[in-house]
Every structure is written in structure tokens, then in C-alpha cells.
Structure 1
Amino acid sequence: MNEVMRVSDLVFEHSRKKRWLKKPEIFRLGPIELSVQRGETVAIIGENRAGKSLLAKMLVGTIAADSGEICLNSQRYNAAQTPSPKSHHRSNDIRMIFQHSSEAMNPGITVGKILNEPLRLNTNLDEVECKQLIENTLVKVGLLREHYFFYRHMLSDGQQQRVALARAIILQPKILVADEPFAALDPSIRSQTVNLILQLQKELGLAFIFISHNLGIVRHLADKVIVMENGQIVESGKTETIFRWPQHPMTKKLILSYQSLVPQQTLR
């Protein structure tokens, strides 16, 4: 596998103002060091307020870090600057999948227009080329070309999730980032979405970084696990190594909690 992303010395510090009789709250994330390989699936786990979602937003550039560098597809970016509208390389190489796909879809416009928006902002394709790419992407995620003309209310939850995936991959990114992408889905749709992501990874060579509290999905899907606590990466490694031989107290706590919910015969 080839490295598609390397994060170096990523730091973010946020201070909430002091309230009456309370000290000001300071949350510091980092310094973060990590790398992602082509086609690799990386899961980020940890308790609430560990900094997982914040890290994901900084990776895609929706929140600027205080310092640090992100190297994407051999291009270096200052993590303290959000991507400018005139420079699309970073936003094209790494894309976000939203947790609630229905809330991310404008009910007043068609699927075709929803998928055309990132193309209009980031490419120089003409109308015919855009429509062809949109239809091909819909087929790629298991939908029909005719879904181009559908509105949100005409789609099932599973189809809406596929539209969200189509929007994420239409610019042919190298990395997809998702914060709890399976939490809002019922088990059958969740299984379909997991299988679809695995299929797209195989076909497109995508790397996938996702945050999840569902360690069953993490164990099934991830090649590598990153464990966070209080804004720090406290442990990382291959998935089976983390699950079988956790080293850090936080990792042990998370794994033991997961194992207590799983029938013992499946752990052997």
C-alpha cells in the first residue's frame, strides 16, 4: 500500500471563557501524528470528548488547527489554514460522509442537482459531462440512473445513504472521513452500507477513516485502530492486535466493555 496521508504535529487548543466561580475550560488536542495508506480503513475510538470528531473535522479542513501539517497525495498543506475556494486539491482528495444523510439533503432539489453542486464548485466539466458522471456515480453506489430526477422524500433511508456516498466519491477522492456513519441506520441498512464501502474501497482504492462507538463494526471493518483520550492518541495498531492485546488503560476499558456485550464463543 502507498501512503496517501500523513499528519505531523497537528495541534488545536480551545479555551472556554471563565464562568462564575468556575475555572476556564481548556481543551488541547495533539500533537497528533498519523499516517493512512491507500485502501486502508482506520477507525478512531474513544470516550466522549476525547477529541475524535474535532480531529476528523481538522483532517477534512472544516476546522483549522493552531499548527501542524497535513500531507495529502504528496501535497503539503498548512493545517492552520482552511482550504481556500481557489484551491480545490485538498477538498477533492479528502471528503466527508455525513452521519444523518437525510438532514444533509436539500428536500427542494433533485438528487442530480445535489450531486452537481460539488462538480460545479470544483471542476470545469460542462453540463453533459457532469450529468454523465453523476449517473455513473449513482450506478457505482447501487442506485439507478433514473434516481438523478428523484427528490429526498422519494428515497428510502438506505437510498439516501447511498446518495450521501455518491456525493462523497464523485470528486474521486483518495480518502473518505466519516463521524459515526452507521449510528443512525437500522441493522439491515447498516450491513448494506458497510458492504458497499468495502466494495468501493476495492474498486477505487479509497482509504476510509471513521469514528465509531460500535466496536463490533470497528473489528469487522478496520485495518487499523487509533485510540484517543483527552485529545491525545494513546494507542494505535492493527485491529486484531488492539482487540487481543490492548496495552493502554483506556484501550483495555473500551475492549472490556465491548467484550461484556459479546457472546464469549465469538471471542475465541
Structure 2
Amino acid sequence: MKQVLDVSGLTFRHSSKKRWLKKPEIFSLGPIDMQVTKGETIAIIGQNRSGKSLLAKMLAGAVEPDEGNIHLMEEKYWSVRHRAARKNADITGIRMIFQHSSESMNPGITVGQILDEPLRLNTGLSDAERKALIADTLVKVGLLREHIYFYRHMLSDGQQQRVALARAILPEPKVLIADEPFAALDPTIRSQTVNLILKLQQEMGLAFIFISHNLGIVRHIADRVIVMDGGQIIESGKTETIFRWPQHETTKKLVLSYQSLIPQQTLR
């Protein structure tokens, strides 16, 4: 399989200022090394404050690392030695969707206007071409072309998540990153969203990196699992290998907690 993302030595350091009667809080992440291939699904799991979300934000460009390199395809997407490289690179190559999609949607503008912004800023398409592409993408994620005229308050939670997904895939990225994208959805809508993402992934050849506490979904859709603790990758491997033969104590606790919630016959 063709490699689409190569991350090497990615590091982040943070130290908060000392407050009255409190020690300064120090958190460091990395160095992180990881590779992602076309069409691959990688799940990042771990306990709270393990660094999962921070890593996702660094990969998506929302947080700037202190050190390291991110290569997208054969292009240097970010480098600590050349911070301008990211500005000159194809910034639409990695896109992110969040757990609470409504918080990233402006309630004062229509769905069409929300989706038009990334195209207007990153492409040379005409107004008519952008409108046609937006309508086609809405259909692709299971919405109607008419939803282009809707406002946020007119959409259900599931529909809002589909709009967020449409916005992420509009520029045809190589990598889609999602931070707990299913947690806020009820089980039925969650299942529909998972199946939709898998369908789009197959159609577009997307690499999908997602963070989740739901190990049932992780086991169902992930090709590989990365386990984080204390800002470090402590274990990684094929999904079934991680679930059947976890090596690190933290991984064992996570898997045991998952196994305790499901009927034992499904583990055989």
C-alpha cells in the first residue's frame, strides 16, 4: 500500500506558570513516529490526558509542534526547521472533524456558506462550480441538495455531523482525522455515521485516523491501533493483535475494561 503520511520526531512541550500554592504543570508529548498508508484506518486510544487529542491537533495543524517533521505524500507538510513549509504546502491534504460538530458551525450562516468557505479559500473554482460541488458532496454524505439553504438549528445532531464530514472531504484530502467523532451520537446515528465514513473511505481512498474511547468501534473498523500514555506511544500493532495479546499494562487494562462489557462468546 502507498504511504500517504510519515511523522518523525514530533514533539510538544508545555509548562504552565506556577500559581499560588500550586506547582507548575508540565506536559510533554513525543517524540512521536508513525506512518499511515492510503485507505488505512488507525485508531488512537488511551486514558484521559494521555496526549491523544493533542497529537491529533498537531497532525491537523491546530497546534504547532516544537520539533519534528510531518510529510504528506512526498511533500513536507510541516518541519520545525522550516516553519514556512506548511504555509506553502497543500494545507487541505489533512482535514479534521470534531466530536461536537455544532460548535464548529456558525449559526448565523447557511450550510452552503459554511461549506463554501474552504473551497473559496483553497481553490480557483467559480461560484457555480463551488455550488455544484457542495450540492454533490451533501448527497455523498447522505443529505439533500436542499440542505444547502438550511441553518444549524434546523439540523439534527446526526445531520450536523454529516455537514462537518462534508466540509472535511470537500477539498479531497488524503488524510481525515477525527477526535471522538461518534461519542455525541445516539447508537443508531453512530452506526450510520461509521458505515458512511467506511463507504467514503473506500470510494476516496482516504486514510482515517480517529480517537475513540469506544473500543467496540475501534475493533470493528480499525486496521491498526496506537496506544498512548503520558504523551508517548506505548504500544501499536494490528487491531486483533492488540485486542488478543496486549503487552503493556495500560493496554491490558483498556482491553480488560472493554471485554468486561461484552458477552464472552464474542471474544472467541
Q: Which residue of structure 2 lines up, in the alignment, with residue 167 of structure 1?
A: 167
Q: Which residue of structure 2 lines up, in the alignment, with residue 234 of structure 1?
A: 234
Is contact 1:61-1:82 (8 Å) kept? no
Q: Counterparts of 1:57 and 1:28 in 2: how far apart (Å)?
A: 14
Q: In structure 2, give the amino acid aligned to 1:171.
A: P
Show CA shifts across 1:160-212 (max 9, x none). Answer: 11111000000000011011100100001000000000000110000110001
Q: In structure 1, give the amino acid aligned to 2:203.
A: E
Q: 1:101: how far off? A: 1.4
Q: Counterparts of 2:262 and 2:251 in 1: how far apart (Å)?
A: 17
TM-score by length of 2: 0.96
Q: 1:87: how far off? A: 3.1
The answer to whether 1:46 aligns with 2:46 is yes
Return 149-158 or 207-216, whichever deviates more: 149-158
Q: In structure 1, give the amino acid aligned to 2:61.
A: G
- The change in CA–CA distance for 1:85 and 1:241 in structure 2 (over 3 A counts) is closer
Q: Which residue of structure 2 lines up, in the alignment, with residue 87 of structure 1?
A: 88
Q: 1:20: how far off? A: 3.1
> Which runs of structure 2 are paired with 1:219-230 in the superposition (5 Å)?
219-230=219-230
Q: In structure 2, give the amino acid aligned to 1:25.
A: E
Q: Which residue of structure 1 lines up, in the alignment, with residue 193 of structure 2?
A: 193
The answer to whether 1:4 aligns with 2:4 is yes
The answer to whether 1:35 aligns with 2:35 is yes
Q: 1:18: how far off? A: 2.1
Q: In structure 2, give the amino acid aligned to 1:141.
A: V
What SS does the corresponding residue of 1:19 show, helix, strand or coil? coil
Q: Which residue of structure 2 lines up, in the alignment, with residue 116 of structure 1?
A: 116
The answer to whether 1:63 aligns with 2:49 is no
* Runs of at least 5 residues in structure 1 that lack an aligned partner in the other structure: none
Show CA shifts across 1:129-176 (max 9, x none). Answer: 101111111111111111111111222221111111000000000011
Return 97-106 or 124-133, whichever deviates more: 97-106
Q: Counterparts of 1:18 and 1:77 in 2: how far apart (Å)?
A: 35
- The change in CA–CA distance for 1:96 and 1:83 in structure 2 (over 3 A counts) is farther
Return 157-166 or 31-40, whichever deviates more: 157-166
The answer to whether 1:25 aligns with 2:28 is no
- Percent identity over the alignment is 72
Q: 1:84: how far off? A: 8.0
Is contact 1:46-1:213 (8 Å) kept? yes
Count residues in correspondence. Answer: 267
What SS does the corresponding residue of 2:171 show, helix, strand or coil? coil
Q: In structure 2, give the amino acid aligned to 1:117.
A: E
Q: Which residue of structure 2 lines up, in the alignment, with residue 146 of structure 1?
A: 146
Q: In structure 2, give the amino acid aligned to 1:150.
A: F
Q: Counterparts of 2:101 and 2:139 in 1: how far apart (Å)?
A: 18
Q: 1:23: how far off? A: 3.0
Q: Counterparts of 2:261 and 2:128 in 1: how far apart (Å)?
A: 52
Q: 1:77: how far off? A: 3.1
What SS does the corresponding residue of 1:261 show, helix, strand or coil? coil
Q: Which residue of structure 2 lines up, in the alignment, with residue 251 of structure 1?
A: 251
Q: In structure 1, give the amino acid aligned to 2:256.
A: L
Root-mean-square deviation (CA, aligned residues, Å) is 1.5
Return 130-139 or 18-27, whichever deviates more: 18-27
Show CA shifts across 1:59-83 (max 9, x none). Answer: 0111110100000011113344777
TM-score by length of 1: 0.96
Q: Which residue of structure 2 lines up, in the alignment, with residue 128 of structure 1?
A: 128
Q: 1:85: how far off? A: 9.1
Is contact 1:73-1:93 (8 Å) kept? no
Q: Counterparts of 2:179 and 2:153 in 1: how far apart (Å)?
A: 24
Show CA shifts across 1:196-230 (max 9, x none). Answer: 00000110000110001110110011100000000
Is contact 1:53-1:179 (8 Å) kept? yes
Q: Counterparts of 1:58 and 1:71 in 2: how far apart (Å)?
A: 13
